[in-house]
A and B are shown apart, each in its own frame.
Chain A
Amino acid sequence: MSKVIQHGVRSTEPMLLVVQVGNAARSAFGNYSHSRRCDVSGRRFFSVTCALFGRGPPSRIEKKTVDIPGLERVTYADRMHYVPGLAKPVFPDWRRDWHDPHHYRGPKNEEMKLHKANPCYVFNQRTKILEGVRQALWLTKSKLIQGLPEHILSLAEDPANQIEDQGKRVQQAIRHSCFWDTTAIRPKRDRFCPVLLRDLLHLCGTLQLKHTSLSKSILAENYRVAALWNQESDVFQVRGLIGMLLNIMTPLPEVIQSGEVLATENHTLETFCPISPTIDLQSTYVYDQKNDTGFRDGYPYPHAHTLFFIETEDSAAKFKPEQLRAKMIMFAFGNALARAKSLYGEHPQVLEQPVVVQSIATDGRLFQFIVLQLNTTDLGPDTGVKNLIWMDQDQLLYDYAKCRPLIKKKAVTMAKH
């Protein structure tokens, strides 16, 4: 297993080891993919003479010294210099008697406190799983229903719930984020995507006049969720740093009543043999078994309402729609599971009061909507009550947003906004 040298920030939680050998995308570093210090994510260097971020020098492959008992190795240790023909002396490990952060070598995997015998498969915020939504459904033991639940659609259609001049204001929000937000001609995607989301949330916030229950919610940014479950003798975890979460005081009502929930027992989970369901998940032997919502006890807004995923500057985090939907499902599930376990205990059971979490993801133009109802935390066996997911995928907010005039055969076809 590879070792990662960690500098700088000390945290109270152990950092998970990152390198996954054999992943095609990561072996772009060619020669160094097999070396011990292959650190794809880069390290921080605090020295001022060299670059602040980068790969370390390549490590040397050391020859193993063969130790035959009874045979004393004649080394050049006494001579104090290399002598051809004599063996290289092996000195005992020298350790500094004080902690130097610039020369700290972390312990090996097997020596770490949280080392376990069984691997754990972790889904983090950068994971792009091969089978996409199907794999996510298997991992979360859920049944997929296309289209959003009726009560949400009826809430949207109801004219009493709409903002004043909704069409015009939404168009303004799109124009502001796509054209007007910068001194250049058009802002980049990682600028206009969060701006669009924030503008639309601001518009929704003006609905507070009519619906005072909207004031009982708060946005939380950059929080970490952790959820753990066992499925078919494998341990799975969802861990990650989420962009935005809307929290509320009272839990969301369940979408489907318990009678229909029990009917899902008949549904069988789709498998995709020969591909294993753990493909593309980060497998690690050093992990902490915990379920954490990211918030302390006593938080006035304990229930999750909606998760927001937007496209950011991080180039490794650019998702195709299928992988993005899988990520949405997994993180909504992780949040729901963590909350269910904190409310009802760690023991796997069918929940009397299902936990409902929603999720919205966008890349600035395409929107994906998901509603997840967690009916059971008993995810071990394949049979039993399943969780439910309603999905509305690939919804275009607008067809196109162009501001440069298009000139074809010397004729201007599109006017400038």
Chain B
Amino acid sequence: MHLTLEFGGGLELLCKSVKFHNVNVDLPKGADKLSMRDLLAWVRTNLIKERPEMFMKGESVRPGVLVLVNDCDWELSGQLDTTLEEKDVVVFISTLHGG
């Protein structure tokens, strides 16, 4: 499945400072849908090059990271259970900054 991922608010530093990624994610074995849960695991393995604890905590994102699926807050579409479709755009923005 082809998706566009964007990292902002400082998270891009975990992916070698690349903000936009056009990716092709395989569906998990035996599944007919791709969920955010699956995508997060895929991102952690394939895109996060350092300090994974800054991006994820457990099976979800670290508290303080905003997730938008097609410009809509994922809390409205079921968070981890949100299903993704071809050409969807997923944005991860860290809201934690400042000193």
Say if A and B assemble together: no
B residues touching A (Cβ–Cβ < 8 Å)?
none
Residue numbers of A with Cβ under 8 A of B are none
